[in-house]
């Protein structure tokens, strides 16, 4: 049996150790390479502050001017709409007033009307005003004068500083003189004035019996 060659054995052992060493070095190099991700940056500064270039400042100023113009335009639009609504309301009120006057004018044309003017001290003893009616004949003229005086004598004029106040009430006079209030055709806008007018009509009932049942309009004014 041949003995192993010591020289070859030494060389083989050295080669194996060298291979193992190289492999160990390669493994260590691979494990030492770590991939570090790029950092996430958060900016807490306004872009307008960071943008200090002339162009950036110009853009900022233009945006500010546009915002101001937009606000001014919105304010003008709101004011224009408000003025339009006020004008429409004013026109509506004027139309209502004209319609009320037209209604009263038509009412005067179609019905008999008597007017009662207040005395300077409320209940007065002066002669009542003449009727402003379209009645035909002395018979109706005399009747209107009588009932005008009867109603006027019961009217206690309330104290008021207004001189443009008036109330118009339509009444039905039955054959026995009983007076029935049909409708307040126009309120004076003063509760005391309207109440005094209605109270005068109630206290004056029954009036002088008419030639026939009729509807007349009574106009109360200072």
> pLDDT category, 133, cuts 50, 70, 90?
very low
pTM reported for the whole predicted model:
0.47
Residue 206: asked if its preceding bond is cis (omega within 30°), the reply is: yes
- Mean pLDDT across 42-57: 53
> pLDDT category, 37, cuts 50, 70, 90?
low
- Mean pLDDT across 120-138: 41
Of 57 and 115, the structure prediction assigns the larger pLDDT to 115
What residues have CB less than 8 Å from 127, skipping those under 6 apart?
149
Render pLDDT for 10-19 as a digit per residue (tens, 0 to 9): 888 888 888 8
In the chain, what is the straight-line distance between the N-terminal and C-terminal CA atoms, in Å?
A: 161
Give burial (CB, 10 Å; 0-12/13-18/19+) of 204.
Answer: buried
Is 148 a residue whose pLDDT tops 70?
yes
Q: Which two tokens stand for residue 214?
A: 């009729």
Q: Which two tokens stand for residue 2?
A: 């041949």
């Amino acid at each position: 049996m041949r003995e192993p060659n010591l020289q070859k054995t030494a060389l083989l052992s050295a080669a194996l150790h060298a291979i193992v060493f190289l492999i160990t070095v390669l493994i260590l190099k691979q494990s030492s390479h770590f991939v570090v991700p790029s950092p996430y940056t958060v900016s807490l500064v306004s872009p307008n502050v960071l943008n200090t270039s002339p162009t950036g400042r110009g853009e900022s100023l233009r945006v500010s001017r546009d915002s101001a113009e937009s606000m001014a335009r919105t304010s003008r639009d709101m004011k224009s709409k408000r003025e339009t609504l006020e004008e429409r309301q004013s026109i509506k009120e004027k139309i209502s007033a004209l319609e009320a006057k037209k209604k009263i004018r038509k009412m005067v044309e179609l019905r008999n009307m008597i007017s009662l003017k207040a005395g300077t001290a409320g209940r007065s003893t002066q002669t009542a005003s003449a009727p402003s009616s379209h009645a035909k004949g002395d018979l109706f003229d005399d009747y209107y004068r009588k009932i005008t005086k009867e109603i006027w004598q019961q009217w206690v004029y309330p104290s008021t500083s207004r001189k443009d106040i008036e109330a118009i009430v339509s009444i039905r006079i039955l054959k026995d003189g009983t007076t029935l209030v049909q409708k307040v055709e126009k309120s004076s806008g003063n509760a005391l004035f309207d109440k005094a007018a209605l109270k005068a009509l109630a206290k004056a009932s029954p009036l002088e019996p008419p030639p026939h049942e009729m509807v007349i309009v009574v106009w109360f004014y200072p």
